[in-house]
Chains A and B, each alone.
Chain A
């Protein structure tokens, strides 16, 4: 009997078999779609308003199409900058671990799901309530340490309250549900 975990493993194994270049192409294809939408919209604007968007949009279309075509033909446009690209390594997603692709994709998907859950929690319950629920849940799921999970959640909520509400006198979002109650 296959469990949902097995199905997920099979899904990510399937995704890992796809050449990573396809994902990169899809990413640039999405950008191309956005640029074309901007160009289409810009046509209706007055000349002064549409000049720069159209200039930049056309250049971008050329660059994106060129990059995609080069990728499709199997050639890499490997023109590095004259200094070899020297902004800090924070810019490079270098995998230092021995993770296989399937595991990495699964972790990436999990990270994205956690982010979406975080956003939804804040939207529904507001920041403070979301903190005492989300943070312990996140820590417990990853570390299986209930004490640390609770302490981190409460500590974070207290820290955020003191910093933002008391020190900065900022009003923080209460959530959609607070408005309904």
Chain B
């Protein structure tokens, strides 16, 4: 209040806390500031659009937004990114229902019944049911996450430096194993991410490593060019190579109320699917596609008319959409609580945390709890807004998706490369973005997942720092890494995750021989 000369100064408003109610207050204030409301709305609209445009989706949208939102501060930046994430989920449903093309893979199951409904002239009913199920599923998932926060906070207190080291190793292995494609290729991708993370000045060891004689690499490889290159640029190269087009179906009119009523009438299916989605979301790396399909198949199993699924059964749309959005709440537990992402989008979201100087994981709930609440509130509001806007603007969104790929690609590339530059004003970042874009394109082509690269890049330094910290605490005794119960559990879990694919492979071979 009083400066050095006795003059009255403005009180410093707390923007970061581990106290529960203080965190809620900061989050609420952040979201309700008029300027931030506009930012949130912009994030929702962008997410809706990016989710609807096939080939773009959550990871590209978030990767593009990170450099743009960075100057706004960590709280506002994360708010915008979470709002965009909320918009992406429903955006993908619009094209799944209208064009039989999921905007994002987690919307894949929606088209099984959504598109047949559209062909029957019931597109608006399907969109409406999708919107209501989507928003309500998100609310259920986020409320369940809210209820789990005290447990996660207590759990976070158990973690020592050594445990965080093993958690990072577990995270690296898990993401490599559950990513699409061969496990070995994905482990290689993870290793590459680790090596990239080792470039530049290291605070623990006090040395600059692998600069290869360049001044650019003294600061190390930067996360923003890596994200933008691997996701946005690589996807644009893929789109430019494929030049796919989509067909269209007329939306028609009427059916909005019928769709909303259908969700209420099938509330058991909705609740069941939401809980399935949330539980699957809690599993690190499980992703929206699994939640989508498991909930759809379960809804089909319990239906009195399972054969109607796939021909235009509204329950199919409700089940997949409810699960798809409920999983967001569940996936925030491993993403924010353990630093292990639940999907490609949350992997990029993790990168956003790191860019803003916040390390996700157990410490987040102790030191930056307001970010957890910002994510929850932003997702809640964005899911509701997205559904309302989505129903009202479905026709316009559908029209926008007819923009040809060859018009879209150069625009997105320019935004991407400009975004890479403005972060530090260093043209080396643009060069790095292009290089990673080419690498990412070939990774896509050769079926090597890009997610392990990003996760390893984020978790690698965490693993190394906590390893050296653990050694300092134990004064050089390596046995500290095997002494704690939490460490033992994580080691066992890591080995189990590594062995699972081999066990599955051996079982497959045996049943093939029989």
Contacts and interface: CB of A to CB of B under 8 A. Distances in A.
Contact of B404 (A92, A97, A116, A143): A143
A97 B195 contact: no
Q: Is the interface of B mostly helix, strand, loop or mixed?
A: helix
A159 B410 CA distance: 13
Quick one: which of B108, B237, B240, B427 has the most chain A CB within 10 A? Answer: B240
Contacts of B464: 52
Given A87-B287, A91-B181, A134 B406 contact: no
Contacts of A23: 446
Nearest to B198: A53
A160 B418 contact: yes
B270 interface: no
A122 B446 CA distance: 29
Interface in A85-102: 85-93, 95-97, 99
Contacts of A46: 205, 207
Q: Is the interface of A mostly helix, strand, loop or mixed?
A: helix
Contacts of B422: 164, 168, 170-172
B105 A111 contact: no
A139 interface: yes
Interface stretch (B184-192, B250-258, B299-307, B361-369): B184-192
Contact of A139 (B185, B198, B231, B406): B406
Given A57-B195, A89-B105, A90-B235, A156 B410 contact: yes
Interface in A147-180: 148, 152, 156, 159-160, 163-164, 168, 170-173
Contact of A135 (B57, B414, B451, B502): B414
A104 B231 CA distance: 21
A148 B108 CA distance: 33
Quick one: which of B178, B235, B434 has the most chain A CB within 10 A? Answer: B178
A82 B504 contact: yes
A173 B427 CA distance: 8
B184 A90 contact: no
A90 B422 CA distance: 26
A96 B244 contact: yes
Contacts, number: 249
Nearest to A167: B68
A47 to B, nearest CB: 9
A88 B104 contact: yes
B207 A91 contact: no
A46 B131 CA distance: 57
Interface of A: 23-24, 27-28, 31, 34-35, 38, 41-42, 45-46, 48-49, 52-53, 56-57, 59-60, 63-64, 66-67, 77-83, 85-93, 95-97, 99, 104, 107-108, 110-112, 114-116, 118-119, 122-123, 127, 130-131, 134-135, 138-139, 142-143, 148, 152, 156, 159-160, 163-164, 168, 170-173
14 contacts: A24-B446, A38-B210, A57-B195, A87-B287, A88-B105, A91-B181, A91-B449, A95-B242, A99-B242, A123-B427, A139-B406, A143-B406, A170-B71, A171-B422
A119 B430 contact: yes
Contacts of A49: 202, 205, 207, 209
B183 interface: yes
B180 A86 contact: yes
B97 interface: no
B179 interface: yes
Given A52-B467, A60-B192, A88 B57 contact: yes
A85 B178 contact: yes
Contacts of B209: 41-42, 45, 49, 53
Nearest to A99: B242
B414 to A, nearest CB: 6
B404 A80 contact: no
Contacts of B212: 41
Given A82-B177, A92-B180, A164-B418, A67 B185 contact: yes
Contacts of A173: 421, 427, 430
A86 B501 contact: no
Nearest to A32: B188
Nearest to A95: B242
Quick one: which of A82, A104, A127, A131 has the most chain B CB within 10 A? Answer: A82
A63 B194 CA distance: 14
A112 to B, nearest CB: 7
Interface of B: 57-59, 68, 71, 102, 104-106, 108, 177-188, 191-192, 194-195, 198, 202, 204-205, 207, 209-210, 212, 231, 233, 235, 237-238, 240-244, 285-290, 343-345, 404, 406-407, 409-411, 413-415, 417-418, 421-422, 425, 427, 430-431, 434, 437-438, 441-442, 444-447, 449-451, 460, 463-464, 467-468, 500-502, 504-505
A48 to B, nearest CB: 5
A153 to B, nearest CB: 8
A86 B504 CA distance: 16
B187 A63 contact: yes
A36 to B, nearest CB: 11
Given A87-B180, A173-B421, A64 B188 contact: yes
A115 B434 contact: yes
Quick one: which of A52, A114, A138 has the most chain B CB within 10 A? Answer: A52
Contact of B505 (A35, A42, A63, A79): A79
B182 A88 contact: no
Contacts of A168: 68, 71, 422
Nearest to A169: B71
Contacts of A159: 411
A135 B410 contact: yes
A87 B442 CA distance: 18
Nearest to A24: B446
Given A27-B442, A38-B198, 11 more contacts: A31-B192, A48-B205, A56-B195, A67-B185, A82-B500, A86-B287, A87-B180, A90-B344, A107-B242, A111-B441, A127-B414
Given A81-B177, A118-B417, A143-B404, A90 B409 contact: no
Contacts of A112: 237, 438, 441
A83 B181 CA distance: 11
